[in-house]
Chains A and B, each alone.
Chain A
Amino acid sequence: MATPLEFTEAARERAAKILDRYPAEYRKSAVVPLLHLAQEEWGHVSPEAMACVARLIGCSPVKVAEIATFYPMFNREPVGEHVLAVCHTLPCALTGCGSVFDHLSEKLGIGLGETTADGRFTLRKSECLAACDRGPVLLVNRRLHTHVSPEKVDEILTELEKG
């Protein structure tokens, strides 16, 4: 049995603020924001993290698992330090996201959904990120890069290597 996870003191304070946004009898509404918080803490949402969120809400862990398994943004396995998601929906496809993805895949030596052996990068595709006038777009962790080309990918990767 894995050791139960607990939020840090700082995260617990943020969790309390999140729960305050909803009427006391509807604490379950906080499940998605709390799962985001858990993912920020631990990088992915493990069953132990789901149990931790469930304890805060006061529901059974399976109720949290039901939600965590629905949304694509929640990682259920560990991911790389940097998650790169290339938008591949029609407007970005029309402006050349294919070459961006292929270039990233070649540079990092990994395919779709894979993580580099050193645990630095995870490569994904994303559905439309609603920045179609600035395509192709690439979401790097929390930051959106626009008008991305293979050359710009090199710059972004160099910057991430430094950081």
Chain B
Amino acid sequence: MAAPLEILTAPLPAETDPGDIDAYMAGGGYGAVRKALKSMSQTELIEEINASGIKGRGGAGFSTGMKWNLCADRFPRYLCANADESEPGSFKDRHLLEAKPHQIIEGMIITSYALGINLGYIYIRGEFFQIIDQMEAALEDARKHGFLGADILGTGYDLELYVHPGAGAYICGEETGLIESLEGNRPYPRLKPPFFPAAIGLWGQPTIVNNVETMAQIATIVDMGAEAYKQIGSEDDTTGPRLFGLCGHVKKPGIYEYDSDVTLRELIYDAAGGIRDDNRLKGVIPGGISAPILTPEEIDTPMGFGALGKLGSMGGTGGIIVMDETTSMVDALLNASSFAAHESCGQCTPCREGVPWMNDILRRIRNGQGRDEDLDLLLDICKQIHGHTVCVFGQAPGVWPVRTILVKYWPEFRACIERKELVVPPLEESYLRPDQYEHIPPVPGNFRLKTEEADAAG
């Protein structure tokens, strides 16, 4: 059994206000900033982050060191910390923003210093009213204590950081959507490649967009050193502590900190206390709504980005949505699809039109009016959207949940269509075992043939 960690979730002394900078400093806070600015050169810092092997915690699991290395050799450069946490099932950023605002600021200062940045923003989603107030106060305190402003800690280095609020749009979490939003435009994502924000970002300048958890982790890396950091987890997959958020039908929902070698089964049954009412597991989404679903047979996987990728899913944001045997997968998918239909920004036709179209089809299946051809039609629309949009929104929350929930729970969807009502079949009859399908992504025709053969044989 993997052991829980207390690195990012290290508790503050009792009765401490998380925004209180004096209490934070009494516990060693801002030590990482002092260490970085006073005793490390920019090159050493970048090498340290590279050596740590850290993968960004925003969802894609892209190497933070590589992102930094791609930063074009032009100035000014800007930093954007991404706190637009909106992926359904993800709440680790909220947790950190509420509990450790100063650690995030530390990471932002270190990152800025390492990359020669003098102006940065933390983009916080608009609905986080209390968090925005707390972060603005925390930045002000950091300024008063000489960690922001001109000539920080007497090093001659200048930095200003500000909060920039969002206003309720999921697409602003996409890094180029975030930049457009910060520029005061509609947050339509930019086409990339060829130019990534590290080359052409905010106001046309090189810009690093990092998730706020990544920022907090940067402070941790400087604190403990890359050598110690990469001992946590596994170097050939994902290093460092992870925050896993368990929600849905578990007995003890919440944030749990482990390394990436922990298995999904351990997180559900040990950390989160198992399934409510001791029901059986039906499916689990392992990293925010976009992460392809896993069936009960697939949960003995470690939680590294690489390990989940091999299963055809992804580490995503570490937000784990657990569903028990009473759950209607048709309802669950309809819900996920409604979210995507609402949040599509509307820039690209396949996503703007295709995602709500899939939502309409799912709604009619749910309401007992599904047609025989609907499941194939859904897979076909998935194929038409996938890869045909400017950003990954079209496929991430748009296509992936539909494609994988539909394929893995095919018998349940078929039952709803055949019986013309919403049915939740017994668990055994609701989903396909991993050896019963070959194609994810499915080829519509092939997939139908395979299940029909299975039906005929069974």
Contacts and interface: CB of A to CB of B under 8 A. Distances in A.
Interface stretch (B30-38, B176-184, B220-228): B176-184
Contacts of A31: 184
Contact of B181 (A32, A90, A133, A142): A32
Q: Which residue, A73, A94, A126, has most C-beta atoms of chain B within 10 A?
A: A94
Contacts of B186: 66-67, 70
Contacts of B307: none
Given A36-B167, A135-B253, 10 more contacts: A26-B203, A29-B164, A36-B165, A70-B186, A91-B321, A127-B168, A127-B342, A130-B85, A130-B125, A131-B91
Contacts of B166: 32, 71
A129 B166 CA distance: 13
B411 interface: no
Interface string A87-120: 0111101110000000000000000000000000
A54 to B, nearest CB: 11
Given A91-B247, A135-B247, A128 B336 contact: no
A37 to B, nearest CB: 10
B327 A72 contact: no
B169 interface: yes
Given A127-B86, A134-B253, A72 B169 contact: yes
Interface residues on A, range: 35 or more
Interface in B84-127: 85-91, 93-94, 119, 121, 125-127
Given A26-B203, A90-B335, A128-B339, A133 B88 contact: no
Contacts of B165: 32-33, 36
Interface of B: 85-91, 93-94, 119, 121, 125-130, 162, 164-170, 181-187, 203, 245-249, 253-255, 289, 319, 321, 323, 327, 331-332, 335-336, 339, 342-343
Interface string A58-70: 0000010011001
Given A66-B186, A135-B247, A90 B336 contact: yes
Contacts of B119: 23
Contact of B319 (A23, A28, A132, A134): A132
Given A23-B203, A26-B183, A71 B88 contact: no
Nearest to B252: A133
Q: Which residue, B91, B185, B335, has most C-beta atoms of chain A within 10 A?
A: B91
A63 B335 CA distance: 34
B91 A90 contact: no
B130 A95 contact: no
A5 interface: no
